[in-house]
């Protein structure tokens, strides 16, 4: 499917600079652009590529002014990254949806599937499951007893959802993710061994949540582990039992939240960050990669680095000192020598 620069600009409410009739049928990265594709410039670090790219159309911010002649046609928009996202969503919406139930799927007679549902081969749907309309359930998915799934949910291959868990509308769960596995609950006994504490709660995932591949979300000991509306979780994340993640929070890969941690709204966690159990993290908190939260964060909208977590500005000042420690050590050793020589002179005199 081809679109002209003018058609794209009209859709994005942007302005064409160049040939409005030029057409594209695919996307490309700006540094690897080829004719017939559309790309974008958002990060200033990539500005040099706009003068060499072979892409036919480039989305740019309204403020962009070229310093030399350009080959591609430009479409100026308020935010080129947001505009690209809109176009990608448009293209995605044109892709045909799978439909029908594979004869190799195992669907309980006591389960209820909404209209236009797709169920792939070797998927197992147990008793009492209720699934909304337009579900896309790919092969080898397991959905346990009494699970509730909303409308427009996509479960990619190998997703496992244990019994009684709840997933809202418009959610997407990527391959290999496990929802509702037992929380890590064990109690030491008199013999020095560990007795398992039954995990009888559930996982509740609200609307508009996306969960990356091979992430695990444990069911609660009692009550619910809750992922609030609009949360975005990357791949390989561990969410422990009784955790609550606030609305529109985003968490990058290999991060972990220990049991009963409560994370606020609109937080941003970098990769390999972590929160100790039973702590509260305020709304709008930002954690740099590998940051570890060891105490409650009570003030909202602050950024942190390091472990234990330190406010980013303080961490950066401290890191400058740390980086200079070898030179400081040498200065101290030189001073010690000079002091020792002065002492000898004083004693001699």
- Residues acting as catalytic residues: 241
227: nearest Cα among 298, 174, 292, 211: 211
Q: Are 126 and 106 in contact (CB under 8 A)?
A: no
112: nearest Cα among 139, 133, 138, 98: 133
135: nearest Cα among 100, 102, 96, 186: 100
Phi, psi of 115 (to 5 degrees): -65, 150
Per-residue CA distances from 182 to 73, 161, 188 (Å): 55, 11, 18
- Burial environment of residue 247 by CB neighbours within 10 A (0 to 12, 13 to 18, 19 or more): middle
* Two tokens, residue 183: 């929380």
Per-residue CA distances from 147 to 44, 154, 216, 273 (Å): 47, 15, 17, 30
Phi, psi of 45 (to 5 degrees): -65, -20
Using the Cα atoms of residue 60, residue 65, residue 70 and residue 73 in order, give the sign of their dihedral.
positive
The whole-angstrom separation of Cα 235 and Cα 1 is 32
């Amino acid at each position: 499917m081809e679109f002209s620069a003018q058609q794209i600009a009209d859709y994005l409410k942007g302005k064409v600079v160049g040939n409005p009739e030029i057409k594209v049928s695919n996307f490309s990265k700006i540094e690897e652009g080829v004719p017939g594709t559309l790309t974008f410039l958002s990060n200033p670090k990539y500005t040099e590529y706009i003068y060499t790219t072979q892409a036919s159309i480039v989305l740019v911010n309204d403020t962009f002014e070229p310093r030399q002649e350009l080959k591609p046609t430009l479409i100026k928009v308020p935010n080129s990254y947001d505009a690209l996202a809109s176009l990608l969503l448009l293209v995605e919406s044109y892709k045909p949806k799978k439909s029908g139930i594979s004869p190799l799927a195992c669907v309980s007679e006591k389960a209820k599937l909404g209209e236009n549902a797709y169920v792939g081969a070797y998927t197992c749907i147990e008793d009492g499951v209720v699934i909304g309309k337009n579900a896309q359930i790919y092969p080898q998915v397991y959905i346990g007893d009494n699970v509730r799934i909303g409308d427009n949910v996509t479960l990619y291959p190998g997703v496992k959802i244990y019994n009684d868990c709840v997933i809202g509308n418009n959610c997407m769960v990527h391959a290999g993710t496990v929802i509702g596995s037992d929380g890590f609950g064990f109690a030491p006994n008199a013999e020095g061994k560990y007795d398992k504490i039954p995990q009888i709660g559930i996982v509740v995932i609200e609307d508009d949540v996306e969960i990356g591949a091979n992430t695990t979300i444990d069911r609660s000991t009692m009550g619910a582990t809750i992922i609030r509306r609009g949360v975005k979780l990357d791949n390989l994340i561990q969410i422990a039992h009784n955790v609550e993640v606030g609305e529109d929070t985003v968490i990058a890969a290999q991060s972990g939240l220990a049991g009963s941690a409560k994370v606020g709204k609109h937080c941003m966690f970098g990769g390999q960050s972590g929160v100790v159990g039973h702590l509260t993290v305020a709304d709008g908190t930002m954690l740099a990669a590998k940051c570890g939260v060891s105490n409650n964060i009570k003030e909202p909208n602050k950024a942190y680095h390091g472990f234990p977590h330190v406010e980013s500005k303080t961490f950066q000042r401290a890191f400058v000192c740390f980086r200079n420690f070898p030179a400081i050590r040498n200065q101290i050793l030189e001073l010690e020598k000079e002091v020792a020589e002065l002492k000898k002179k004083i004693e001699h005199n």
